[in-house]
Copies of this chain bind each other. A is one copy, B any other.
Amino acid sequence: MHDWQYSERARHLTSSAIREILKVTERPDVISFAGGLPSPATFPVERMRAAAERVLTESPQAALQYSATEGFAPLREWIAKRYSRDGLTLAPENVLVTTGSQQGLDLIGKIFIDEGSRVLVEAPSYLGALQSFSLFAPTYVPVPTDEHGLLPEALTPEQTAGARFLYAMPNFQNPTGRRLPMARREALAAVARRDGLAIIEDDPYGELDYEGQRLPSLMSLAPEHVLYMGSFSKVLAPGLRLGFIIGPQAVIAKLVQAKQAADLHTPSLTQRIAYEVVKDGFLDTHIPSIRTLYAAQANAMLASLAKHMPAGTTWTPPAGGMFIWLTLPPGIDTMQLLEKAIAQNVAFVPGAPFYVGTPPANTLRLSFVTVPPEKIEVGVARLGALVADALARSDSTHLQGSCKCPSTTN
């Protein structure tokens, strides 16, 4: 056998827990709250088909040929216009189209992280980002959070000194579903200005606020300090692998060079199809329908949780997005719980992989968007019984679960 000589970097590569779990839960009899997949019921199939037809009729050769690394010009222009709000004015040169947001994370890791560079991340943070950044061997610094998200006051000048960036997901964070309140956004922007802190604002779920009341982006509050990452995965279709980065032109230019080496450009065909679909304001009617669906799904899960979860279990009702984060009573290990759950055909993602450093053992992430409400009820009931059982073994009392309903929005 050949002895393949891998790089040091390759040793940082591990298959994600989410990925391994997803393999198990592909069985149709499993009620899976583990996925991070949007509901396929929201995919605008007819429009996509018509768009593909139009693109391959009207500009087939351009759609099938190599194209610019920066992205399809009309799509960049559309993105620049759409995100010119909250006092911000953007040009197409502020936009780079990426092959999904995941590629954005890889490119950002590449151009900013040296071995040992300090990178600030929320505790917990998005697993896919940690995976991408880890290839470049940063030193992670966890930033504490509460039920409203990241705590800006934890970002002291000592904490931010020398940090390459803070990676944050202010809207309906993956995994916690939390949204950062306005006052904290302003505090975070003030920290960025005070300390010259770069912020990566990852915002795949921002459009999915159930009330349709968006909060201003960090980018709009501190445009010089923020790279904003957007995605078509949750508002159109993830199978297109279309995301984008918005930021200062000099940084975008650097990212373009990194992208050229990474895949030359995002497929011309998918970019043109997406542009055809969105160009005439389709998202203005489409996104509200996703919001309505997800809000109903969230309510179904919240009702089931209130009914079936034993006391000591807490969660925050999401104002948007796809996830609910559960904190179980201390002493329950959700990695162990998962094994029992899967034996009963229910799946979730344990919270531990979302943390850098020492994770709490008793958290887990539930996705509520793809499971029908009646199955949500069945699945959560099974989960509640398992938690109650684990509690009984650890000799605790059984009471009813409680919603950690936010009383303030500071």
A interface residue numbers (CB < 8 A to B):
1-10, 13-16, 19, 36-38, 40, 43, 45, 48-49, 52-53, 56-57, 60-67, 69, 99-100, 102-103, 105-106, 110-114, 117, 128, 131-132, 134-136, 164, 196, 198, 224-225, 233, 237-241, 248, 250-251, 254, 257-258, 260-270, 273
Contacts and interface: CB of A to CB of B under 8 A. Distances in A.
Contacts of A262: 102-103, 106, 132, 262
Given A6-B112, A103-B262, 9 more contacts: A4-B251, A7-B113, A7-B117, A7-B136, A9-B111, A37-B65, A66-B239, A100-B263, A263-B263
Nearest to A257: B13
Given A128-B264, A254-B13, A269-B270, A196 B65 contact: no
Nearest to A242: B267
B241 A266 contact: yes
A45 B10 CA distance: 40
A14 B257 contact: yes
- Number of copies of this protein chain within its complex: 2
A373 B386 CA distance: 75
15 contacts: A1-B224, A2-B224, A4-B251, A5-B112, A9-B111, A10-B112, A13-B257, A37-B65, A43-B60, A43-B65, A49-B56, A65-B237, A99-B99, A135-B261, A240-B267
A35 to B, nearest CB: 9
A37 B15 CA distance: 36
A36 B264 CA distance: 12
A241 B19 CA distance: 24
Contact of A239 (B239, B248, B254, B269): B269
Please provide the 7 A-B residue pairs with the shortest distance between their CB atoms, ordered closest to farther.
A239-B268, A64-B237, A40-B61, A13-B257, A49-B56, A45-B60, A10-B111
A100 B264 contact: yes
A263 B64 CA distance: 21
A238 to B, nearest CB: 5
